[in-house]
Structure 1
Amino acid sequence: MDLTAEGLNNRRIAATCFIAGKMVKRRNGRVFAELPTPVRAEAIASWLGLGPTR
């Protein structure tokens, strides 16, 4: 999630971690499902402890 918060897309995260892009997508989907919002930007804000972006 930290790499997502830094602004990397799934493809770059996969390259950085030497894993498949589908694995990143699946993992991020699971993390986002646990957070209070399905919106990527709001999920990152929540992850960083910044609360909702609205």
Structure 2
Amino acid sequence: MNEATKPCDHDGCNCQVSISQDFCSESCRMAAESQNVGGTCECGHAACQQRS
């Protein structure tokens, strides 16, 4: 059975996370807390690296 997912709470991130999680990585959590909304996501996951 597939686990339900939702988008990472960091606005600049394309990753999907478990419903029980808010962020896909510590870098996204820190970026969201600092309200760093400009620029690219630096989580390092494939979903974000594929963006151009």
TM-score band by shorter chain is under 0.3
Scaled by the length of structure 2, the TM-score of the pair is: 0.28
Which structure has the highest strand share of the two?
2
Scaled by the length of structure 1, the TM-score of the pair is: 0.27
Higher RCO (Cα < 8 Å, 6 or more apart): 2
Which structure has the highest helix share of the two?
1
